[in-house]
C-alpha cells in the first residue's frame, strides 16, 4: 500500500480505456468481476469514472480505480466495474468512487442504487443493505438471464436508497 498517495476522481476518457480494461481483467480473472471487452468499454465509457494519480515524470494520469453507474430505469441504477488497484486498497478510493456514482444518480433523480458483489462488508460500510436479487426484476430480466453464471451465481445483491 502507498501511504499518503494523492488521487482525484474524474470522468473517464477514451485514453483511459486500456488501463480500465487491464484493471477489470485483473479482477475478472479472479472471478470477482464480470469481464468487459474493449468494445463494451467504448460503448459504456460515458458512465465510467476513474481514480487517477498524477505521474509527474511522464506528466500522465495513472488509473488506480474505476466504477460505472449503469442506469436501469427512471428509479434504479447499478454500480458496476468497481475496481481499485490492490496497491491502493484501504485508502478510501473505493468509497469515493461509489460516492461519485451515488452523486451522479442523485443529480439525475435516481433514488435507488444497487450492486451485485462478493464485497458485502465493503458495501455495508457504505450503508447498503442486503436484498434478494429477485426483488430486482429489472436486473434479472435484462442482464442476469444472459450471464454465463445465471443460476449458479453466488454474488450478493445490496441496495441503497439515496
Ligand X SMILES: CC(C)(COP(=O)(O)OP(=O)(O)OC[C@H]1O[C@@H](n2cnc3c(N)ncnc32)[C@H](O)[C@@H]1OP(=O)(O)O)[C@@H](O)C(=O)NCCC(=O)NCCS
By CB under 6 A, name the binding residues for ligand X: 27, 32-33, 82-84, 89-95, 115, 117-119, 121-122, 125
Q: Name, in order, each residue with C-beta under 8 angstroms of 126's C-beta and a sequence gap of 6 or more.
A: 95, 98, 99, 160
Whichever of 59 and 148 has its CB closer to ligand X, that residue is 148
Whichever of 121 and 132 has its CB closer to ligand X, that residue is 121
Beta strand 48-55 with 129-131: parallel, antiparallel or unpaired? unpaired
What CA–CA distance (Å, rounded) separates 158 from 59? Answer: 39
CB of 59 to ligand X, least distance (A): 25
130 near 122, Cβ under 8 Å?
no
What CA–CA distance (Å, rounded) separates 81 from 69? Answer: 9
Whichever of 109 and 122 has its CB closer to ligand X, that residue is 122
Whichever of 45 and 120 has its CB closer to ligand X, that residue is 120
129 near 113, Cβ under 8 Å?
no
Whichever of 1 and 109 has its CB closer to ligand X, that residue is 1
Q: Name, in order, each residue with C-beta under 8 angstroms of 92's C-beta and a sequence gap of 6 or more.
A: none
CB of 79 to ligand X, least distance (A): 6
Residue nearest to ligand X (CB): 94
C-alpha cell, 150: 445465471
Amino acid at each position: 500500500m502507498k501511504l499518503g498517495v494523492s488521487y482525484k476522481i474524474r470522468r473517464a476518457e477514451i485514453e483511459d480505456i486500456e488501463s480500465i480494461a487491464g484493471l477489470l481483467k485483473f479482477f475478472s480473472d479472479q472471478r470477482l468481476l464480470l469481464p468487459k471487452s474493449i468494445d463494451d468499454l467504448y460503448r459504456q465509457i460515458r458512465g465510467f469514472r476513474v481514480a487517477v494519480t498524477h505521474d509527474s515524470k511522464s506528466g500522465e494520469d495513472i488509473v488506480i480505480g474505476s466504477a460505472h453507474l449503469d442506469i436501469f430505469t427512471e428509479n434504479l441504477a447499478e454500480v458496476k466495474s468497481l475496481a481499485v488497484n490492490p496497491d491502493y486498497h484501504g485508502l478510501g478510493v473505493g468509497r469515493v468512487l461509489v460516492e461519485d456514482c451515488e452523486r451522479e444518480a442523485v443529480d439525475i433523480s435516481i433514488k435507488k442504487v444497487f450492486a451485485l458483489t462478493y464485497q458485502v462488508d465493503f458495501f455495508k460500510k457504505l450503508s447498503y443493505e442486503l436484498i434478494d436479487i429477485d426483488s430486482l426484476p429489472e436486473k434479472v430480466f435484462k442482464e442476469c438471464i444472459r450471464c454465463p453464471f445465471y443460476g449458479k451465481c453466488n454474488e450478493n445483491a445490496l441496495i441503497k436508497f439515496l
